[in-house]
Chains A and B, each alone.
Chain A
Amino acid sequence: MSTAAQTAPRATSDADAGKTGGRSRLSPSRRAKYAATAFGAVFAVGWTLPLLWVLIGSFNAERLTSGAGFVPSDPSGANWSKLVQPDGRAVNVFVAFFNSSVVAVAATLLALVVCSMMAYALARLPFRGSALILSLIVLAMLIPTEVILVPLFQQFAALGLLNTYGALIIPHVVSLFGVVLLRQFIVNLPVELTEAAKIDGANAWQNYRYIVLPLIRPGLATLGILVFLAAWNDFLWPLIATSTPSMQTLPLALITFRSAYGDSEYGVVMASTILAITPPLLVFLFAQRFIVAGISNTGLKG
Chain B
Amino acid sequence: MSATTENRTAAPRRAARSPRRRRLTRVGILFAAPFMLLLLFLWGVPVVSGFWVSLTDTNMAEGTGGFVGFDNYASLASDPDFRSALGNTALFVVLNVPVLVAVGLLLAMLLNQPLGGRGAIRAAFISPYLLTGAAVAIIWQTALNPLGGNLNQILSTVGLPEQAWLSTPGEAMGAVVLITLWWRVGFPLLVLLAALQDIPAQLYEAAKIDGANVFQRFRHVTLPAIAPVLMLVVLLRLIDSFKVFEQVYLVTEGGPAGSTRVVLQMLYESGFRDFQTGYASAIGWTLAVIILIVTVVQLALTRRRES
A contacts, CB < 8 Å to B:
7, 10-11, 14-15, 17-18, 32-34, 36-37, 39-41, 43-45, 47-48, 50-51, 53-54, 57, 64-70, 113-115, 117-118, 120-122, 125-128, 130, 133, 137, 140, 142-144, 146-155, 170-171, 173-174, 179, 204, 208, 229, 232-236, 239-240, 250-252, 254-255, 258, 262, 266, 269-270, 273, 276-277, 280-281, 283-284, 288, 291-292, 295-296, 298-300, 302
Task: Report which of B110, B121, B140, B284 forms a contact with A150, defined as CB distance below 8 A.
Answer: B284
Q: Is the CB of A280 within 8 A of B148?
A: no
Verify B38–A50 contact, CB threshold 8 A. no
B153 within 8 A of A: yes
How far does the alpha carbon of A127 sit from the alpha carbon of B31 in the complex, in Å? Answer: 10
B293 → chain A, closest Cβ, in Å? 11
Which A residues are in CB contact (< 8 Å) with B134?
235, 250-252, 254-255, 276
Closest to A204 in B: B27
Query: Given A69-B150, A233-B131, A288-B123, 11 other A-B contacts at CB below 8 A?
Result: A43-B121, A118-B34, A121-B31, A137-B39, A140-B43, A142-B292, A151-B45, A154-B277, A155-B46, A292-B126, A298-B191
Q: Which of A70, A117, A288, A291 contacts B34 (CB 8 A)?
A: A117
Interface residue SS majority, chain B: helix
21 contacts between A and B (CB under 8 A): A11-B118, A11-B119, A50-B139, A50-B143, A51-B139, A54-B135, A64-B148, A69-B153, A117-B31, A118-B31, A127-B29, A147-B287, A149-B284, A236-B268, A254-B134, A255-B250, A281-B130, A295-B190, A298-B187, A299-B190, A300-B232
**B83-122 toward A: CB 8 Å interface, digit per residue (1/0)?**
0000000000000000000000000001101111111110
Say yes or no: A276-B132 contact (C-beta < 8 A), given A64-B145, A125-B24, A151-B49: yes
Which of B7-15, B73-81, B164-172, B238-246 sits within the interface?
A: B238-246
Q: Which of B28, B115, B140 contacts A50 (CB 8 A)?
A: B140
A236–B245 touching, CB < 8 Å = yes
The chain B residue sitting closest to A252, CB to CB, is B134
Would B115 and A153 count as touching, CB distance under 8 A?
no
Least CB separation from A57: chain B residue: B142
User: Is B203 close to A, CB under 8 A?
Assistant: no
Given A65-B148, A125-B27: A47 in contact with B295 (beta carbons within 8 A): no
For the complex of A and B, list the 8 residue pairs with the smallest distance between their C-beta atoms, beginning with the closest.
A299-B191, A125-B28, A118-B35, A44-B124, A251-B134, A121-B31, A233-B132, A151-B46
Choose among B29, B35, B243 the residue with the greatest number of A CB atoms under 10 Å from its CB: B35
Cβ of B130 to closest chain A Cβ, rounded Å: 4
Contact A118 B27 (CB under 8 A): no
Determine whether the beta carbon of A204 is less than 8 Å from that of B31.
Answer: yes
Given contacts A44-B124, A122-B32, A130-B32, contact A270 B132 (CB under 8 A): no
Question: Is B245 a contact of A121 with CB atoms below 8 Å?
Answer: no
Interfacial chain A residues near B271, Cβ < 8 Å = 149-150, 153
Q: Is B233 an interface residue (CB 8 A)?
A: yes
Whether the pair B190, A296 counts as a contact (CB closer than 8 A) is: yes
Number of B positions contacting A (CB below 8 A): 95
Known contacts A67-B148, A130-B32, A280-B131; is A236 also within 8 Å of B246 by CB?
yes
Within 8 Å CB of B132, what residues of A? 232-235, 250-251, 254, 276-277, 280
Task: Give the shortest distance, in Å, between B174 (CB) and chain A (any CB).
Answer: 17
Q: Does B229 contact A (CB under 8 A)?
A: yes
Q: Which residues of A contact B46 (CB under 8 A)?
A: 148, 151-152, 155
* A53-B150, A69-B142, A155-B41 known; A40 vs B53 contact (CB < 8 Å): no
Is B50 located at the chain interface by the 8 A CB criterion?
A: yes
Pick from B35, B43, B153: contact of A143, CB below 8 A. B43
Asked if A121 and B32 make an inter-chain contact with CB atoms under 8 angstroms apart, the answer reads yes
- Cα A257 to Cα B236 in complex, Å, equals 33
Do B130 and A284 touch (CB < 8 A)?
yes
- Chain A hits for B245, CB < 8 A: 146, 236
Given A114-B34, A270-B142, A298-B236: A174 touches B43 (CB 8 Å cut-off): yes
Bound together, the chains give a CA A140 to CA B46 distance in angstroms of 12
B173 beta carbon closer than 8 Å to chain A: no
Known: A47-B125, A146-B284. Is A299-B233 also a contact (CB below 8 A)? yes
Q: For A155, give its contact among B29, B45, B229, B243 (CB under 8 Å).
A: B45
Beta-carbon contact of A269 and B53 below 8 Å = no
Q: A67-B153, A236-B246 are in contact. Are A125 and B31 (CB under 8 A)?
A: yes
Minimum CB–CB distance from B271 to chain A (whole Å) comes to 5
Residues of A within 8 A of B250 (CB): 235, 255
- A40-B115, A121-B28, A276-B134 known; A53-B143 Cβ under 8 A: yes
Asked if A170 and B38 sit within 8 Å, CB to CB, the answer is: yes
Instruction: Tell whether, in the assembled complex, residue A118 and residue B32 are in contact, meaning their CB atoms are under 8 Å apart.
Output: yes
